[in-house]
Amino acid sequence: MSSPSNLTGSKNYFEDFEVGMVIRHSRGKTVTNLENVLITNLVMNSADGHFNKDKMSRSSFGKILSYGGVNFSLVLGLASQDCCENALMELGLDNIRLTKPVHHGDTLYAYSEVLEKSDSDRADAGIIVYRHFGVNQEQQVVAQVDRKVLLKKRPAA
């Protein structure tokens, strides 16, 4: 078996992040039934505004609203490879704000700012707090979330 460190990137360890850095993540993802309806149902969210097209056609939105939990989970996902691929544990989230409705067909992109960097109780890892932003195809911010992660330090060569 190859070393675990060969399976993940080499430029995203604890040492590679500095407070104030802002990262634009390279991939976007379009929200469809697969993201919104599948995940909303998978996690037992029973609010049918996220999966009843008929009802929502008669609402002021006019169409299905993508569930906020899906929207910010997708933003966290889009940022995960760069920010958390070498994580030992995700410790928590804070300041989650959903600032714009998201509908099927909207495309989300992610940006991350490094808010804090500190030591942990492990010598081989430190703690980073990121602020992730989710932006739609019109560059409007749709979601914001802070994530605290225990991130590995670069293994000795």
Residues whose CB is less than 8 angstroms from the CB of residue 40 and which lie 6 or more positions away in sequence, other chains included: 47, 50, 51, 67, 69, 70
Return the range that interacts with another protein (CB under 8 A); candidates 14-22, 28-36, 114-122, 133-141: 28-36
Residues whose CB is less than 8 angstroms from the CB of residue 101 and which lie 6 or more positions away in sequence, other chains included: 61, 65, 66, 142
Does 78 contact another protein by CB under 8 A? yes
Rounded-to-integer distance, Cα 118 and Cα 26, Å: 27
Does 125 contact another protein by CB under 8 A? no
Structural element, H or E, at residue 37: helix 36-42
Does 45 contact another protein by CB under 8 A? yes
Q: Are 14 and 88 in contact (CB under 8 A)?
A: no
Q: Are 23 and 111 in contact (CB under 8 A)?
A: yes
* Binder of another protein out of 34, 59, 107, 140 (CB under 8 A): 34
| CB of 52 vs another protein, minimal distance in Å | 12
The site for another protein, by CB under 8 A, has a size of 42
| CB of 119 vs another protein, minimal distance in Å | 19
| CB of 18 vs another protein, minimal distance in Å | 21
| CB of 8 vs another protein, minimal distance in Å | 6
Residues whose CB is less than 8 angstroms from the CB of residue 98 and which lie 6 or more positions away in sequence, other chains included: 68, 71, 72, 142, 143
**Binding residues for another protein, per CB under 8 A?**
1, 4, 7-8, 27, 29, 34-35, 38-40, 42-47, 65, 68-70, 73-74, 76-78, 80-81, 84-85, 87-98
